[in-house]
Structure 1
């Protein structure tokens, strides 16, 4: 049986990313139909991304500068974590390489040796992205001062609601049909249990072969109809609430996201062209909603431009992201707080996985199982990376003390033990975060390694010292030749107001 119609339940970022991708890739062969209600708001606070978003936009053929103008976008070179180990301490998880490997031995082993000998600078000095970000600089393409300097990988900050609207226009121009209406009921086949149609509040029936659940936390299809189940990860990621509020921007927009530790959680600060996105993620067991709102209000970047929006969530994942003929995308598939800007990436990854495993009808059980296996692995490894930030903190408030004493997942504990004992970091299969990403958080939050690779000891002391001194000088020289982030935006992609 041929797959003829894919129905997307819900709009927002997840729904319109799916509609744009599927309409672009297969709209001539498969009918793509999206159902949404304008009366139902979207979360729309995920405004920071990671570099993989560029692959998604490129696959659609989007003009990067036009997309940034339409969404008020700025460039992102990494995330600064402020106050996670001490009140005035800041480190960055920046995109791109850290240092340069020498032969088969990764850079961190030379840096660990140099640190012990007192000839190494802070780890961020050896990352071109962090040097550029801290200097407020931005560049696309080949380096300006030396071929040996790495190119600068980047992502974006943008208004998620404007991005969804941009993709909606793109999708509808490629034949995606849209129906306005609230889903009142979900019809299922009595024999197979598959979903056969959505029934809207006005009585209209929208039938399909494959259904994508993009209904957010409500998860109307995957949970409401199919009861796929939910795995709660709040024992490791205890923050369960957030409040978001936009504000006017102040000064030139930084080319990085800020994640600022607070007494019972953390605050995001995301610079856009037309405003700043702010939010406070917190644990309700250690602070009240009123206190959390007061913390955010007292730390806005500029004057508020909208009312605070409270959110409640349970970190975790759907036990089956694909059940029967329903695939959950975005918040319907689970929630990992936006500490490392992975929310939009998880939508993108799910769409790519679905396209690769697109089914004939009826859906083969083995296909569902493989999709779910890949989804589970990706989310579990991202979960571990987020847990590391909380566990490896140096703060004294009760919330943070509780995080330091939590029992860790075995997969994370093994990675920490390997690093502590040997200085080795491994990346398993297609984990999202690279060895350099793990290195920046482990070192940035003070998790020390007791040894390093023995081949790192073969370099003479003078050569090691020169190596550790030269790289930062080259990177600072390159950063000095780059345009400021503000002028780069003005030249290429300034928002029309």
Structure 2
């Protein structure tokens, strides 16, 4: 992704080398995305049909959270907007009054994307009327972007890094020596070495801030299976005894996995749980992945910028890993050195990266902390743990007033916070007085006409499976 982004935007000015080794595996399970990936593809002028055909992608309208609020209780965090806001108060206040008066349905009845996902329907609508993301084969996506970057002048170099050579005076990285003996000098080095963080961590000595006291999970097991049914436009996130299971439908297979905490269960138990809850013939042996939730204390130091897992990691519950890669790339392009590296740029880059991941961290912690599950030590401890003050304020504000205020430039908008907080069982104690300006008849009409319009639109949509097959074949609808 870095090679593709830099080569498309600045390739005529730079000499870019992509060092990879086919002998080194990748995590390769980042198969679910969020709508911001379309912005990245727009910048690169990537054709959506070509991308989807190359990566065996399907569409994604949100995430189904099953067994999170409690065992047997589910909700959907969709990518759409819900209802219509007033400038003084969000739609949730009108919905809240409607529920009190017996005039409103479920909160999701007023969201097109959520209702479409429940009926397994999808289509591109005029004026970008449907917000969506993708499920994709991460390995195919990497190869797709490698070819893309090579078309824009990137030179791919096969080999493993045997030694990182530093400037003994300034402390910057001077060159990389590969196991073949080839030495590559550079002015700027982008560390995409994953959890190892060979450049930013081992070489530049940047420490790591551990968030495992808030985010217990430190392990995952991945397993691919053959498809046995139509692909749905949802990622499934299924709460288990000591973690959660993902299920991601692609065109040719299903990506499965379980994310868990080694403090509460062991690998064998986690794998047995996963194998007992998949559909279709396994295509591989489950593979264990270890990780530590947290962030690098600096993501840019000297002439080294860490992007992806080398810069930090938040588990994939909200599919934010690829987004953070994308944001790191765009931020780097915006602050790319012109005449040597500016420390002011470095400081600003690090500040923005830290703020961004903190907001996402809080959103992820929310899913674990606000739960009614008390059936296992894992869930009991998550519910009782102290949480960051920033998250505590958001929870208290919504519970007491029904209000959510988005922090500038943060990833998740008000409706995301509302959907998850309602879904996890937080119900506001009051609504804004603006909602009281509507009488019962007016409020019933306001809510009813909105829900009816959404139902009519959903009824006219084709099935997601049909649409993907025809769209990727180039015929569309």
Instruction: Measure how far apart 1:494 and its partner are.
Output: 4.7
In the TM superposition, what are the counterparts of 1:244-263 in structure 2 within 5 Å?
244-263=222-241
| 1:153-204: CA deviation from partner (whole Å, max 9, x where unpaired) | 1100000000000011111111100111110111111111110111111221
Instruction: Measure how far apart 1:280 and its partner are.
Output: 0.1
* Secondary structure at the counterpart of residue 108 of structure 1: helix
In the TM superposition, what are the counterparts of 1:339-350 in structure 2 within 5 Å?
339-350=317-328
Instruction: Measure how far apart 1:398 and its partner are.
Output: 1.3
- Tell me what 1:334 maps to: 312
- Tell me what 2:15 maps to: 31
Q: Are the counterparts in 2 of residues 209 and 361 from structure 1 also a CA contact under 8 Å?
A: no
- Tell me what 1:8 maps to: none
Q: Are the counterparts in 2 of residues 91 and 124 from structure 1 also a CA contact under 8 Å?
A: no
- Tell me what 1:86 maps to: 70
- Tell me what 2:255 maps to: 277
In the TM superposition, what are the counterparts of 1:198-217 in structure 2 within 5 Å?
198-217=176-195
- Tell me what 1:71 maps to: 55
- Tell me what 2:442 maps to: 463
Instruction: Measure how far apart 1:53 and its partner are.
Output: 0.5
* Secondary structure at the counterpart of residue 191 of structure 1: coil
The yes-or-no answer on 1:474 pairing with 2:458 is no
The yes-or-no answer on 1:417 pairing with 2:401 is no
How far apart in 2 are the matches of 1:241 and 1:194? Answer: 33
- Tell me what 1:453 maps to: 432
| 1:104-125: CA deviation from partner (whole Å, max 9, x where unpaired) | 3210111111122222211111
* Secondary structure at the counterpart of residue 68 of structure 2: coil
TM-score by length of 1: 0.94
How far apart in 2 are the matches of 1:466 and 1:77? Answer: 27
* Secondary structure at the counterpart of residue 360 of structure 1: coil
Further displaced range: 465-474 or 191-200: 465-474
How far apart in 2 are the matches of 1:234 and 1:114? Answer: 40
Q: Are the counterparts in 1 of residues 299 and 311 from structure 2 also a CA contact under 8 Å?
A: yes
- Tell me what 2:378 maps to: 399
| 1:83-140: CA deviation from partner (whole Å, max 9, x where unpaired) | 1112222111101211111353210111111122222211111111000011111111
TM-score by length of 2: 0.97
- Tell me what 2:288 maps to: 310
The equivalent position to 2:406 in structure 1, one of 397, 420, 427, is: 427
Q: Are the counterparts in 1 of residues 17 and 156 from structure 2 also a CA contact under 8 Å?
A: yes
Q: Are the counterparts in 2 of residues 245 and 307 from structure 1 also a CA contact under 8 Å?
A: yes
Instruction: Measure how far apart 1:468 and its partner are.
Output: 2.3
The yes-or-no answer on 1:124 pairing with 2:105 is no
- Tell me what 2:125 maps to: 141
How far apart in 2 are the matches of 1:494 and 1:440? Answer: 35
- Tell me what 1:234 maps to: 212
* Secondary structure at the counterpart of residue 472 of structure 1: helix
Instruction: Measure how far apart 1:470 and its partner are.
Output: 2.4
- Tell me what 1:99 maps to: 83
How far apart in 2 are the matches of 1:118 and 1:256? Answer: 30
* Secondary structure at the counterpart of residue 31 of structure 1: coil
How far apart in 2 are the matches of 1:301 and 1:153? Answer: 28
Q: Are the counterparts in 2 of residues 77 and 94 from structure 1 also a CA contact under 8 Å?
A: yes
Q: Are the counterparts in 1 of residues 176 and 184 from structure 2 also a CA contact under 8 Å?
A: yes
- Tell me what 1:11 maps to: none
- Tell me what 1:62 maps to: 46
How far apart in 2 are the matches of 1:366 and 1:462? Answer: 58
Instruction: Measure how far apart 1:267 and its partner are.
Output: 0.5
* Secondary structure at the counterpart of residue 175 of structure 1: coil
| 1:224-275: CA deviation from partner (whole Å, max 9, x where unpaired) | 1011110000111110100000001121100111100001000010000000
How far apart in 2 are the matches of 1:103 and 1:323? Answer: 43
- In the alignment, structure 1 segments of 5+ residues that lack a partner are 1-16, 144-149
How far apart in 2 are the matches of 1:39 and 1:459? Answer: 65
* RMSD, aligned CA: 1.2
TM superposition outliers: structure 1 runs of 4+ over 3 Å: none
- Tell me what 1:109 maps to: 93
